[in-house]
Structure 1
């Protein structure tokens, strides 16, 4: 009576089984859960790839900055210091070479000036001593004047003669300087230049040539224009030779 009374109950239980005794059909929520797991796995893979790329980038940066290649920062610093030392040494060597070259150029220029002076002296000697030299009596060949201190000027007059070879020429030498002071022309005699009323001439005695040297004093406010050298021999007439101040000094005025 119980089976016939509940026919629907038996029919419902049989409906839950698959035909032929198979397994029950999957639930409706199973498919969405598998898709979520696949999506999560894909995200994990992408994150792993990013981390691996970052790791390779960090390793490359560390290698470039000195952490790899078998060289540590201390070794690289030593190499840099060695290169800097080489640069300093080369720079110092170049400076020394330049200084030595300048000194050499200066020495060569000085030697050239000495050679030129010697050639002038040789030509000078040949003019007055050589067999073909023109015979001349007492002559004031050259006058040079150099400034000193306090208005003092040092002069050097070159006297020559080859007319009487072997016979000395003797006498006295004086100077006279013409110029202007306070807008008026004035000539200073030997006594004015030596600042002594009884100033004696400078003695000379030579066979072919001699440089007679001495000092004179120019008064303040005096502008010299011309210098006259007078050589008075013991025998014969005096000889005078005038030189422009600019030629004797290379200056236009004593203070220039």
Structure 2
């Protein structure tokens, strides 16, 4: 009897397994799977799109901030220019004779080569044209001894003429200097030789003349 019951139980369990494997599935099961798979694809695409949109928004915001910073710098520069011009051509501007208002040097790729920009000004003789030449000299230490490098040596041309200038109120003069190997510059001397009148000299420490220059020396 027990054996017969065991056989019947085994047959019943086997039949249930066959029905689970081969029996009919719900009519919408495959459609449901396809719908869910399609939904997953759509959601993944939406996530990818949102991530990309977020990246673009972040980059656009970064670009905007950079543009705003550039505009602020440009406005500040223009205001400084206006203030500079008013000092010399404004109705209340103080009168100054011929001088080197500013001298700046920037290092170039060649470690011995420097580019200079000298700003010449005057408003003492309003409307009068000032003409002449600008020359630079450099006081430098070489092996513990001070020496003065002349314009011809700095330009690598023994009889190099000065750079001509001609202006009423101000003018920027540019050029290049070549320092000998091993020297340590200490001071720059700007010499103005006007077409009429006596020459004049102004000195600038090397540190002041190179403020803001890349520290690659």
Tell me if both proteins adopt one fold, taking TM over 0.5 as the criterion. Answer: yes
Among residues 174, 185, 193, which one is paired with 1:224 in the alignment? 185
> Normalising by structure 1, what TM-score?
0.71
Partner of 1:238: 199
Equivalents in 1 of 2:69, 2:117: separation in Å? 25
Among residues 124, 136, 144, which one is paired with 1:163 in the alignment? 124
Report the structure, 1 or 2, having the larger helix content.
1
CA distance change for structure 1 residues 160 and 238 in 2, over 3 Å: closer, same or farther? Answer: same
Equivalents in 2 of 1:187, 1:252: separation in Å? 23
Structure possessing the higher radius of gyration over alpha carbons: 1
Structure 1: gaps of 5 or more residues: 1-35, 55-61
Q: Following TM superposition, by how much is the alpha carbon of 1:184 offset from its aligned partner in structure 2, in angstroms?
A: 2.1
Equivalents in 1 of 2:78, 2:200: separation in Å? 28
Partner of 1:17: none
CA distance change for structure 1 residues 226 and 254 in 2, over 3 Å: closer, same or farther? Answer: farther
Residue pair 1:179, 1:223 contacting (<8 A) in 2 also: yes
Equivalents in 2 of 1:234, 1:213: separation in Å? 19
Q: Following TM superposition, by how much is the alpha carbon of 1:69 offset from its aligned partner in structure 2, in angstroms?
A: 10
> Normalising by structure 2, what TM-score?
0.83
Among residues 73, 85, 88, which one is paired with 1:113 in the alignment? 73
Query: Is residue 197 from structure 1 mapped to residue 177 from structure 2 by the alignment?
Result: no
Residue pair 2:121, 2:171 contacting (<8 A) in 1 also: yes
Structure 2: gaps of 5 or more residues: 18-24
CA distance change for structure 1 residues 125 and 216 in 2, over 3 Å: closer, same or farther? Answer: same
Residue pair 1:142, 1:157 contacting (<8 A) in 2 also: yes
Tell me the SS of whatever aligns to 2:109: coil
Residue pair 1:224, 1:253 contacting (<8 A) in 2 also: no
CA distance change for structure 1 residues 87 and 116 in 2, over 3 Å: closer, same or farther? Answer: same
**Equivalent residues, number:** 212
Query: Is residue 124 from structure 1 mapped to residue 95 from structure 2 by the alignment?
Result: no
Partner of 1:82: 42
Matches within 5 A, 1:31-46: none
Q: Following TM superposition, by how much is the alpha carbon of 1:210 offset from its aligned partner in structure 2, in angstroms?
A: 0.4
Residue pair 1:173, 1:231 contacting (<8 A) in 2 also: yes
Matches within 5 A, 1:143-158: 143-150=103-110, 151-158=112-119
Equivalents in 2 of 1:245, 1:166: separation in Å? 34
Tell me the SS of whatever aligns to 1:142: strand
The Cα offsets for residues 115-169 of structure 1, whole Å up to 9 and x where unpaired, read as 1111111000100000000011001100111122322211110000000001111
Residue pair 2:107, 2:213 contacting (<8 A) in 1 also: no
Report the structure, 1 or 2, having the larger strand content.
2
